[in-house]
Amino acid sequence: MENTNPLLNRKNDHRLKAIPFPEFKTEHFLPAIQEALKDAKAEIETLKNNPEAPTFENTILELELNGELLDYVANIYFNLLSAESDDAFKALAQQISPMLAEFGSSISTDPVIFQRVKAVYDQEVAGTPKPQIPKDLNDKAALKKAERYRLIERTYNSFIRGGAMLNEDDKKRLTEIQMEASQLSPKFSDNVLAATNKWELHITDPKDVEGIPENSLKAAAYLAKKKGKDSGWLFNLQPSSLTPVLTYCKNREIRKQIQQAYSSRAFRDDFDNQENIKKILKLRAEKAKLLGYKNHADYVLADRMAASFETASDFLEKIYGIAYPAAQKEVEAVKTLAKAMDNLDELMPWDMAYYSNKLKEQLYAYDPEELRPWFKVENVLEGLFTVTGKIYGIQVKQVFDVPVYHPDVTTWEVYSRTGDFLGLVYMDLFPRETKRGGAWKTSFQGQGLHRDGVRRPHVSIVASLTPSTDETPSLLTLNEARTIFHEFGHALHSLLAQGYYKGLSGTSVLWDFVELPSQIMENWLLEEEALNLFARHYQTGEPLPKELLDKVIAAKNFQAGVANINQLRYGMLDFSWHIADPESIDDVNAFENNAIERFRLLPPLDGSNISCAFAHIFAGGYSAGYYSYKWAEALEADAWSLFTEKGIFNQEVAVAFEKYILARGNSFHPMDLFIAFRGRKPDPDALLKRDGLIG
């Protein structure tokens, strides 16, 4: 008899097997998770009780394919939790997360399963030379053999890192830690979203919005009307709303209000995250010690390209030594201008964007706001697909018969140059109160082997860009257009994946390698050859004037020192939390201030706190890993230099990047893949050279 829960009836009535979102209700999710868990546990019991000797097929592959229904339901739940969820939906995470954590831990700590995994590892990997990247990447047999080796190796190591070698008491405690931690991350994220949504600033006096661009004022007026205000402008803490205020508003007090509100989210308010931070840190530290590591950072870095905290921190310190003096000079230039313009004696955080933009106007004779008319969101998407078509030969077409979870979401099919179906993309680009802030790429279905064969991926790009109003279409800033290019770079990592095993496919790479495909895509956005393909004025159809483009390109390294220091501050703050003894941390704010003091370029903002809204490390996958952005950026700068040397649409370089980086996923160590693409190890100075910080 067919189950009435639509989450348990995986519809096959669409050739893409698209998810029937409109059929799902909140009350369907917990029963579906519970039922799917039963199935997954039954599969595990079958694996454990198999009387045959352990083999790759009956052990490693079975683990790889375990719980497909559970993955299906859980992926939908957690993707919607971030993108489209109300309070009732969010509350389910406190039940669902520990159930999944307990199940995952029960597998990785099971002695019977581990012995089977170890037997296969000993037979096929231990003492066996690591397969090299085949010279002929069309040799599917060689690639599959190498992937098999890598999957066994990664599976075995995941059991070690998951507690397989612990005694029974420690295994029990590890499971408890995983379950408790799985509840704290959603709590942290919920608090940040609630604090973000709660704050609004309603302005009715035109003097108070003087300087803010017309497009942003229209958006604020439209938001005020939607929220039932009779007049005026409504601003909130979404980047598309607050950034124009901080960059353009002449009223310093208004800038101060919005800066203070944004910088104090989930800190000393109704949604305070300080206790959550302390609990998360204690659990992570305890887990690391149980597994034989000095701290959480050492545990994380052992499975990264950097391989150790020392290597990663030395990398950041090298950049700091060059970028901080440059950043100080850049800030001094802004202070000098602020003093000359408005007799400002002390530059505060709410002044930096405003006067930096004035300085940019002086130096380069252009205002970034001028670009918006050429970046209508539909044109940016068309341009993105045209550019990636020229690079990789893909074809992207919008489809209208795929169910979506919100009316804002659009759907797109992607095909290879030979017409083969590569995958489905969901685009969810505008802010709403049911969506967490930021931008990310996620997957509803991974590329690779499933029970019914190899499937193509279903990926989603989620962001909070400038929305349209009742008068104006969505016109993006250059940074917002860059966000779309960045996230589509992640999507390409999945869409162009050619792996056999989904656990090694696409973005399932070492974490400090995952940003390379996304960051490299940003480069095309500042290339005349690429912009000429799509940057058209939304009203006149005129191309982006060359003189304006030249100014944008000339200004691309404006305040590169400040930009680097801002990223380093986040990365080193992340490390500071994860190398410290949590028991010694009484005051979250005092600890943070001490950790970031040497990165400070402006006076501290009273009542502000980065960590309480630092969802990347306390609610995402970047704990002890935020350095990955700079690490991957260094790889990307070196990889991009080959494109600029040979031509940004050079097919030899593009094909090599696709074959060695995008298609291979985690089937080989990322350093081996980079060397195969670039012909050598990464140039350690490529990033600093590209940013103009060294010659």
Residues sharing a CB contact under 8 Å with residue 14, sequence separation 6 or more, in sequence order: 401, 402
Strand ranges for 128-265 from DSSP E: 200-203, 233-236
Give me the chain's average pLDDT, please.
Answer: 96
Equal fold, 6-192 vs 373-554+629-690: yes
The pLDDT of residue 116: 98
Instruction: Find, among 397, 396, 426, 421, the residue nearest to 411 by Cα.
Output: 426
The pLDDT of residue 3: 74
Q: Tell me: the pLDDT tens digits for 635-668? A: 999 999 999 999 999 999 999 999 999 999 999 9
Q: Tell me: the pLDDT tens digits for 298-333? A: 999 999 999 999 999 999 999 999 999 999 999 999
> What are the distances in angstroms from CA 280 to CA 187, 190, 503, 619?
11, 15, 27, 10
Residues above pLDDT 90, as percent of the chain: 97
Q: Tell me: the pLDDT tens digits for 351-404? A: 999 999 999 999 999 999 999 999 999 999 999 999 999 999 999 999 999 999
Q: Tell me: the pLDDT tens digits for 437-481? A: 999 999 999 999 999 999 999 999 999 999 999 999 999 999 999
The pLDDT of residue 26: 98
The pLDDT of residue 477: 96
Q: CATH code for 373-554+629-690?
A: 1.10.1370.40
Q: Tell me: the pLDDT tens digits for 82-96? A: 999 999 999 999 999
The strand pair at 421-428 and 453-455 is best described as unpaired
Q: What is the mean pLDDT of residues 518-531?
A: 95
The strand pair at 458-462 and 233-236 is best described as unpaired
CA 451, 455, 459 angle in degrees (round to 5)? 125
The pLDDT of residue 13: 37
The pLDDT of residue 1: 39
| Per-domain residue ranges of the chain | 6-192, 199-263, 373-554+629-690
Topology of the domain covering 6-192? Neurolysin; domain 3 (1.10.1370)
> What are the distances in angstroms from CA 207 to CA 83, 201, 250, 406, 611?
36, 15, 9, 37, 34
Q: State the CB neighbour count (10 A cutoff) for residue 258.
A: 21
Alpha-carbon span 67 to 50, nearest angstrom: 17
* Through-space distance between the first and last CA atoms of the chain, rounded to whole angstroms: 71
Rg (CA), the chain: 25
The pLDDT of residue 9: 83
Residues involved in catalysis? 487
Alpha-carbon span 366 to 552, nearest angstrom: 8
Q: How far from chain centre, in Å, is Cα 183? A: 21
Please indicate, yes or no, whether the overall pTM of this predicted structure exceeds 0.85: yes
Alpha-carbon span 493 to 507, nearest angstrom: 6
Q: Tell me: the pLDDT tens digits for 148-192? A: 999 999 999 999 999 999 999 999 999 999 999 999 999 999 999
Instruction: Find, among 76, 58, 56, 55, the residue nearest to 8 by Cα.
Output: 76
pLDDT higher than threshold 80 for residue 14 = no
The 3-state DSSP class for residue 395 equals strand
Residues above pLDDT 70, as percent of the chain: 99
pLDDT higher than threshold 60 for residue 12 = no
Q: Tell me: the pLDDT tens digits for 105-149? A: 999 999 999 999 999 999 999 999 999 999 999 999 999 999 999
Helices (H), 291-437: 296-301, 309-342, 349-364, 377-392
